[in-house]
Amino acid sequence: MPEPDVFGPIVTAPMLERAVEATIRMWGDTYLWKMARVEGLKPLPSIRSYRAADTMEERFPEQQIPAVQIMLTSENKVVTGGETAHMVFGGTVDALVQSSEPEPARRLAAIYSYGLGLLLQQQGLEPDPISGTQIKVEGFGWASAGVPALGKPVNRWLALGSVDVAYAVEHVFNPLAGPTEPVDEPPNWPVAETARLVLEEEP
């Protein structure tokens, strides 16, 4: 029976996204404090939610802003050689902010996105909190920063600040690894069990 490690190392885009989120959670307030000092502003609100979003007005309720979305699945390039493969994960890290007026919203989006880009440029990655994997980054690129979206879907102005980034990651898989025969069930892996719970009123 093959063991799980016969597949070799595995690093996926969601693992990287979770590691980026963990890093921002750890360092976000520090960099927002610095950005506020640089801009001569009062302390900036902490990031309240981390999620993917398709549209600003539908996926981010008011109480969850400022929000960050991390999308590193848009363009992933693979280079294989010998017993290892490297991958470049490209995408965006965005900050959604709000204000009662359009220009302050635009400025806030620019400040938050710049702070995120600087944070990711200067700090290494925390481990993926689910798998515990410490992702080996051999290169990081912060390509651009901007405010691609500004709108007023309801009674407030929302602005999206975005940074384009790319992570070059070592050892995402081993091209020469893998099991030698297929299996019908995962070997020696925990199996979820179900139980029925019946509640009765006391006499």
Q: What is the CATH number of the domain that holds 42?
A: 3.30.2000
Please indicate, yes or no, if residue 85 is contained in any of the structural domains: yes
Closest C-alpha among 96, 79, 83 to residue 157: 96
* CA 66-41-23 angle, 5° bins: 45
Q: Which residues of the chain have pLDDT under 50?
A: 1-3, 53-57, 59
Q: Per the structure, how many domains does the chain have?
A: 1
- Distant-in-sequence, close-in-space partners of 66: CB < 8 Å, separation ≥ 6: 44, 45, 46, 47, 48, 95, 96, 97, 98, 112
d(CA 45, CA 52): 20
Please indicate, yes or no, if residue 22 is contained in any of the structural domains: yes
Please indicate, yes or no, if residue 186 is contained in any of the structural domains: no
Please indicate, yes or no, if residue 190 is contained in any of the structural domains: no
CB 45 within 8 A of CB 148: no
Please indicate, yes or no, if residue 195 is contained in any of the structural domains: no
> What is the rounded radius of gyration, in angstroms, for the C-alpha atoms of the chain?
21
CB 120 within 8 A of CB 20: yes
| Tally of residues, the chain | 203
DSSP H helical ranges for the chain: 13-39, 56-59, 102-122
d(CA 113, CA 120): 11
Please indicate, yes or no, if residue 98 is contained in any of the structural domains: yes
Query: Quick one: pLDDT at residue 1?
Result: 37
- Distant-in-sequence, close-in-space partners of 12: CB < 8 Å, separation ≥ 6: 172
Give the domain range for residue 64.
Answer: 4-173
CB 77 within 8 A of CB 60: no
Please indicate, yes or no, if residue 61 is contained in any of the structural domains: yes
β 49-50/67-81 pair status = parallel
For the entire predicted model, the pTM comes to 0.81
Query: Quick one: pLDDT at residue 137?
Result: 93
Please indicate, yes or no, if residue 194 is contained in any of the structural domains: no
> Which residue bears the tokens 């359009």?
102
